[in-house]
Amino acid sequence: MEQYIKDFDKVLKKQRALETNDPLDRLIAIVNKAKEDIRADPSAANTSLAVLGKSFKSVSNTISEEQKELQSSVTKYSKALDKKFTADAMAAINPHAFDNKEQILRKTIALHYIRQGNFEVGDMFAKAKMFDIVAALKNNDLGPALEWATRHRNELEKRSSTLEYKLHRQRYLQLVESQQTNEAIAYAKQIGYFGTRHKREVQRLMGCLMFIGRIHKSPYADLFAPNASDDIQHMFTRDYCSLIGLSQESPLYVSLTVGTQAMPTMIKMATIMKAKRTEWSQQSELPVEINLTDDTKFHSIFACPVSKEQATEENPPMMMTCGHVICKESLQKLCRGINSHRFKCPYCPQESMASQAKNVYF
């Protein structure tokens, strides 16, 4: 890929060179010079016009050559890309992926539009409230968010959230930055509630009062980070969605992101299978492992130690009385399909029955 990036930079460099040395500017300069020559010596007008014609022709030929060279580079680069990326994305698409899952798909799309503020797609007052608070935060209005965080203090503390503290901290810093000393001192009482958990930082917040008027040249300048507002918006969205049972990111966005990451591997696998005339028969698993980024991993994956297969909704992990966990299908094979039949655990001497096993949820 590095070679393609270098080739792209070359094409871009040629284009910018043409933009810098504008052909029209060159033609205008030639015409202006000819006008000055004619004004200076009207008797030499024919000569000046003849020179102008030759210059026009020379510049036109130069422009034509430069454009041809640029077009040639673009064409070569385009062909190189087409040659490199010959994979057919349709080969990795499963047309039956959403069979009997229309309701999940509709819900995912509806929630995505609601998150964007298009509330006609779904009637959800809670999301409308969140949208209004986020809009206020973007305008540096912390009031609505503070009111909401204070009202839900207990729920946020159960989740070890620092949202309320961060909001009070940001409001206090706004007062300090705007040199409202008395208001900042009075507001400091609001931060006192968080003194036990954030003792060191609260001490620094109190210390910056001594530098009001020159705070950005003080040892406390780092408290006034330019991206603090964006961080608070992100934190508020995360905690709000968590309290009402929604994921922080749009499920549709996450699905598309994961699909984009997996597509090159899936296309390559589909091409190999087609060449070998084989098919993947496992319905609930992918034929290859897909390496995803950490922000798109949401749950643990259990692989049965007996069958070496990943657990699914139809084949969930089951814990026997001895504490060892295997998948349901392996459990059924061990008990020979009879739930009351006693069998020995594959990993310890203890015996148990399938009816005694319990589902394990990760």
H or E stretch covering 37: helix 23-40
- As a whole number of angstroms, the distance between CA 6 and CA 10 comes to 6
- Residue 172's nearest CA partner among 136, 220, 135, 217 is 220
H or E stretch covering 68: helix 45-84
Burial class (CB in 10 A: 0-12, 13-18, 19+), 290: middle
Q: How many residues does the chain have?
A: 362
Residues 50-79 pLDDT 10s: 877 787 777 777 777 878 887 888 888 787
Burial class (CB in 10 A: 0-12, 13-18, 19+), 244: exposed
> Would you state the pLDDT for residue 360?
85
- As a whole number of angstroms, the distance between CA 62 and CA 25 comes to 14
> Would you state the pLDDT for residue 125?
39
- As a whole number of angstroms, the distance between CA 362 and CA 359 comes to 10
- As a whole number of angstroms, the distance between CA 112 and CA 106 comes to 10
H or E stretch covering 112: helix 102-115
Which amino acid, 140?
N
- As a whole number of angstroms, the distance between CA 158 and CA 238 comes to 15
H or E stretch covering 251: helix 251-276
Region for 335 from its dihedrals, namely left if φ exceeds 0, alpha if ψ lies in -120 to 50, beta otherwise: alpha
H or E stretch covering 359: strand 358-359
User: Which residues neighbour 144 within 8 Å (Cβ) at sequence distance 6 or greater?
Assistant: 132, 133, 136
Residues 153-193 pLDDT 10s: 998 888 888 899 999 999 999 898 888 889 988 888 888 88
Helix spans in 159-250 (H): 163-177, 181-192, 199-207, 228-243
- The total of other beta-carbon atoms located within 10 Å of residue 69's CB is 12
Distance of CA 56 to the CA centre of its chain: 52
Q: Which residues of 160-173 are buried (b: 16+ CB within 10 A; e: fewer)?
A: ebbbbbbbbbbbbb
Q: Is the pLDDT of residue 127 over 60?
A: no
- Residue 121's nearest CA partner among 270, 25, 252, 13 is 252
Q: Is the pLDDT of residue 149 over 80?
A: yes
> Would you state the pLDDT for residue 123?
46
Q: Which residue has the higher pLDDT, 313 or 122?
A: 313
> Would you state the pLDDT for residue 23?
66
Instruction: Estimate the crossing angle of helix 163-177 against helix 143-151, to 10 degrees.
Output: 150
Q: Is the pLDDT of residue 25 over 70?
A: yes
CA angle 298, 284, 313 (to 5 degrees): 65
Q: Which residue has the higher pLDDT, 269 or 300?
A: 269
Task: Give the end-to-end CA distance of the chain in Å, rounded to a whole number.
Answer: 40
Q: Is the pLDDT of residue 270 over 50?
A: yes
Q: Is the pLDDT of residue 295 over 80?
A: no
- The total of other beta-carbon atoms located within 10 Å of residue 267's CB is 19
- As a whole number of angstroms, the distance between CA 275 and CA 322 comes to 47
> Would you state the pLDDT for residue 122?
47
- As a whole number of angstroms, the distance between CA 184 and CA 172 comes to 6
> Would you state the pLDDT for residue 220?
87
**Average pLDDT taken over every residue of the chain:** 79
Mean pLDDT throughout 343-360? 87
Sign of CA dihedral 352, 353, 356, 362: positive
Q: Is the pLDDT of residue 110 over 60?
A: yes
> Would you state the pLDDT for residue 283?
56
